[in-house]
Amino acid sequence: MRCNKLMIMHLLKNLNTLTITAVLACASISNLSAQLLHNQYPCAECAVYDNNGNDLRGFIISNKRDLYSKGDVVNNASDNMWGYMEIRSATVPSVNKSGERKGDLNYVESIVATSVLYKTKDGAEGTWWARECNSPKGPLTSKMVKPEGDALDIPIVRYETITEALEPKVFTIVEYYNDLYNERDYDILLKNYFLVENGTIKNLDDYKSIISFYNNFLKKFTYVDDPILGKRSFITLMTAASGNKYIGYFNIVNGKLAGKFEAIDFQYEKDKDTLVKKVFTKLTGSTVYVYGDDNFDLEKPIVKYAREHDIKLKRRHTDTPIKFNEDK
């Protein structure tokens, strides 16, 4: 039952004393939930193994096979120079930090925890993290706990162990299973990366095409952490060997390429305008490069949107010898 002021005023006129008390209690809870979260930490045990399957253990059980099948393709096709991760986020209770119920679980003040699976060269690792106080910009937090019951199928490590392993990778594919993730996490923790929704890349061989395409794309940079690139964004258009078409769009964040990756499958003509608007609302650069050898009939809506929003466009084909850093 949702409580608001109009509802309460109406009920106060018509309900008996007992009901009035219940309504006021509901209003108090509603106001509490609207306040800023003050509990600092999530329940680590809940994040790892005790959240009705919406935890790291549940993610391993459901996704280990998928992680290996895709991660092995990525590792082999890139000579282990690309990283592959799968993530799924869920709310877990926080832990009361003070008062009579200090240490108790608080389900009202829940915190989003992200379960992470990483495909190593010869196996896999799992971890989790959250943001303190559930703040999008709060400090990252995590805690190692030993799960009860059956042992987890893959080693659980601190998230720093995985991010350190990903540091030398030229690119990382982050495949997500719901949209509760915080992009800032990956802006901080990873080098060049893109987020892609699970199920977008339907053909395993497409991962090979993606790696080949973006390795060539990276060659168009003298180096990515160049201040001159700070106000530039990139739209990339590619066709995999399977014939599937994809769009990737990137900003330069913390001197790295940070982006999203989607399949292109237009059902209606208006879908083109919808996609272009979605892409540009995510881009931050005043200059946008369109990179690829096929426009997929997106040229007109791209040019139109850029003109209406005073965005400078530059077209680049995959065989261009010009480096993005050299382009004034």
Q: Are strands 245-253 and 256-263 parallel, antiparallel or unpaired?
A: antiparallel
Predicted pLDDT of residue 267: 87
91-100, 197-206, 214-223, 313-322: least confident range: 91-100
AA identity, residue 307: R
Predicted pLDDT of residue 11: 37
Q: What is the pLDDT of residues 139-166, one digit of tens each?
A: 999 999 987 666 578 999 999 999 999 9
Comparing 164 with 2, the larger pLDDT belongs to 164
Q: What is the pLDDT of residues 298-316, one digit of tens each?
A: 999 999 999 999 999 999 9
Distance CA(260)–CA(176), nearest Å, equals 11
Predicted pLDDT of residue 29: 35
36, two tokens: 């800023």
| Farthest-apart Cα atoms in the chain, separation | 80
Give the CA radius of gyration of the chain.
Answer: 23
> If pLDDT is split at 50, 70 and 90, which confidence band does 3 have?
very low
Distance CA(219)–CA(272), nearest Å, equals 29
Q: What is the pLDDT of residues 154-207, one digit of tens each?
A: 999 999 999 999 999 999 999 999 989 999 999 999 999 999 999 999 999 999
Q: Are strands 245-253 and 171-176 parallel, antiparallel or unpaired?
A: unpaired
Q: How does DSSP assign 72-128, residue by residue?
A: HHHHHHTTT-EEEEEEEEEEEEEE--SSTTTTSEEEEEEEEEEEEEEE-SSSEEEEE
Region of 20 on the Ramachandran plot (φ > 0 left; ψ -120 to 50 alpha; else beta) = alpha
Residue 35 phi/psi, 5° resolution?
-75, 165
Kindly tell me the burial class for residue 126, based on how many C-beta atoms sit within 10 Å of its own C-beta (0-12, 13-18, 19 or more): buried
Comparing 18 with 75, the larger pLDDT belongs to 75
Q: How does DSSP assign 170-194, residue by residue?
A: SEEEEEESSTT--HHHHHHH-SSEE
Nearest to 303, CA basis, from 276, 328, 285:
276
- C-alpha dihedral over 219, 188, 168, 121, to 10 degrees? -110
Predicted pLDDT of residue 32: 36
> If pLDDT is split at 50, 70 and 90, which confidence band does 50 have?
very high
pLDDT at 134 over 90: yes
pLDDT at 23 over 80: no
33-42, 213-222, 232-241: least confident range: 33-42
Rounded to 10°, the helix 204-218/56-77 angle is 60
> If pLDDT is split at 50, 70 and 90, which confidence band does 36 have?
low
Q: Are strands 287-291 and 245-253 parallel, antiparallel or unpaired?
A: unpaired
Rounded to 10°, the helix 5-14/17-34 angle is 170
Residue that the structure tokens 């014939």 belong to? 243
Comparing 120 with 327, the larger pLDDT belongs to 120
Predicted pLDDT of residue 133: 94
Predicted pLDDT of residue 160: 97
pTM of the model: 0.86
Mean pLDDT of the chain: 88
Predicted pLDDT of residue 296: 93
- Domain range list for the chain: 5-34
Q: What is the pLDDT of residues 224-269, one digit of tens each?
A: 999 999 999 999 999 999 999 999 999 999 999 999 999 999 888 8
